[in-house]
Structure 1
Amino acid sequence: MHKIALIALLSLPLFADFFPQTVNTSVKYVKGDTITLNKQFPVNGMSGVVIHNYGNGLTAITSRIAQTSSNESVALVSKDILHHDKLPTIKTPISVKDKVIGGYLYNNVLLLAPDADTYAKITSEHTKKWIHPDLFALYLSVEGEEKPTRENLARFAKKYQVGLVYIVRKNSAVLLDPISEKIVSEKSMKGLPAKGSFPFYMRFKQRDSGWFGSDVKGNYYHTMKSL
């Protein structure tokens, strides 16, 4: 009986709580845009980066990838890792033995919550590098967009090094990988406000109302369900 319990314990996913763990592995095989790894990611939808060693101590991130099935296969997402008009674009193809980090920057989290109390409670419970929602609110303002979408979250994540988006929905919470645009974790939640405000609070003069309790049009829980 004890042996069965031990086997069951060892067969659990690589993460025991809400947040998937970062995984370090390497490329085993490459065929087109499909890459086989030496160790699979703990959850489908997890994105990662490929790091190529050029020798002489020089390494660089060359590509973004995401796990697409429950095996060691992942798919190429993007080669647009870092764009700068004055820097050359990295064109190195993915090669066998390249290092891979799954869940890259997963410690950097943007939280979308229905009110300030929920935001404060969640951020106090987890030791993460929380990306302040002021920054995302300002980004949307500059982009001329009022509501979060998977598309603007992906753009924001690439620009500001966000690994996960923690989204509080009605009676639940999910973790969105903004690069793969897939949900990588989900759990139930209790004690949430019946009606939420958009999950940002702006302290800039041009938007004094803020987004926690703001007059931004739309239903919070309906919008979060669509993400």
Structure 2
Amino acid sequence: MGRYLILFLSLFFVGFANSMSQPIISVDGDKATIKIDNIDVGMSGFVVKHLNKEHSIILKNAVVSGFDKKTKIATLKLSDYDALKQNSLPSGKWKVSVGDEVVLAFGYSRALLIAPNEEIYHRITKALPTLEWVHPDLFATVLSFNGHPTPLKEDFNNMCSISSAGLLYFYIHENLFTLDCKSMTILQITKAPLKQESLQLPFYSRVEQINANWFGSGSSKLKAYDPYYYELLVKNNPKNKELYDLIKNKEQKLSSLLDDFDMKDEK
């Protein structure tokens, strides 16, 4: 199983190792489109306006919200770019327009892995040696600064921004989930039945204690690994049929999460 996992993950990583860029062909409010041979819904990036041959500026965040395989047209959801905040500098009045460049899958060579123990963490990271891994100690330090022993979505988003990580991995009950680090959309679910003999909460790190706020979301210590991270995945992927089927076949204690899906007629 170990060799299969390494081969499968390596083949998957090859397809997402490099960023890709395409010009915008249409803009309508907070939506834009590009033409591209293939792209996964949920991939994130940003819009660049080239002012001249030597100067350019990042205008917006961009997340792929839809892709038509027949027309090869991808629809992008645009939002304010917040990775590099500098309140002392003017923001400018440039708007996204046709011809601006969209860069997607930026930072997919860097990743953060959430794992239940040290052994599983090392087995998965060694399976993908070409990835530059952001150590969970750094994330635990960020959580301690924020006072969140239980990591929230905004904590993951913050960590992705400050570490320039493009991919986020969760190992949960014999499955490895690959997510876009900004949108937290599932890109791949890989069956990985690794033996788990111990559990560290909220995830494996060498940080002994994460400081907590007096109250508020994330201030309580995480009590259960699998249910919490499954809930986090469902909240950010309510239309993912593969995730729905996976949870449906799990233990009865996870059945309440099925109500959070938006599967409509697919149920």
Where do residues 83-94 of structure 1 align in structure 2 (5 Å cutoff)? 83-94=85-96
State the shift of 1:101 in Å: 1.4
1:104 aligns with 2:141: no
Q: Do the aligned residues in 2 keep the contact of 1:52 with 1:62 (CA within 8 Å)?
A: yes
Q: Do the aligned residues in 1 keep the contact of 2:48 with 2:57 (CA within 8 Å)?
A: yes
Where do residues 42-57 of structure 1 align in structure 2 (5 Å cutoff)? 42-57=39-54
1:37 aligns with 2:34: yes
Distance 1:125 1:76, change over 3 A: same
Q: Do the aligned residues in 2 keep the contact of 1:174 with 1:187 (CA within 8 Å)?
A: yes
Q: Do the aligned residues in 1 keep the contact of 2:83 with 2:162 (CA within 8 Å)?
A: no
Match of 1:24 in 2: 21
What is the rounded CA distance, in whole Å, between the counterparts of 1:184 and 1:75 in structure 2? 17
Match of 1:138, SS? helix
Give percent identity, aligned residues only. Answer: 25
Superposition TM-score, scaled by structure 2 size: 0.69
Deviations 1:71-97 (A, max 9, x none): 311111323342123222254211211
Distance 1:217 1:148, change over 3 A: closer
What is the rounded CA distance, in whole Å, between the counterparts of 1:176 and 1:19 in structure 2? 15
Superposition TM-score, scaled by structure 1 size: 0.81
What is the rounded CA distance, in whole Å, between the counterparts of 1:91 and 1:161 in structure 2? 26
Match of 1:131 in 2: 134
Match of 2:12, SS? coil
What is the rounded CA distance, in whole Å, between the counterparts of 2:28 and 2:110 in structure 1? 31
Distance 1:91 1:177, change over 3 A: farther
Number of residues of Structure 1 aligned to a counterpart in Structure 2 = 204
Match of 2:195, SS? coil
Deviations 1:190-219 (A, max 9, x none): 123165323232357xx39xxxxxxx6411
Q: Do the aligned residues in 2 keep the contact of 1:45 with 1:66 (CA within 8 Å)?
A: yes
Moved more, 37-46 or 135-144: 37-46
Match of 1:69, SS? strand
Distance 1:120 1:112, change over 3 A: same
- 1:179 maps to a residue whose letter is K
Q: Do the aligned residues in 2 keep the contact of 1:195 with 1:220 (CA within 8 Å)?
A: no
Larger helix share, 1 or 2: 2
Match of 2:218 in 1: none
- 2:155 maps to a residue whose letter is N
Match of 2:225 in 1: 220
Match of 1:8 in 2: none
State the shift of 1:41 in Å: 5.3
Deviations 1:26-76 (A, max 9, x none): 211111111010216521111111111000411222211101112311111
Where do residues 139-154 of structure 1 align in structure 2 (5 Å cutoff)? 139-154=142-157
Match of 2:250 in 1: none
- 2:22 maps to a residue whose letter is T
Match of 1:174, SS? strand
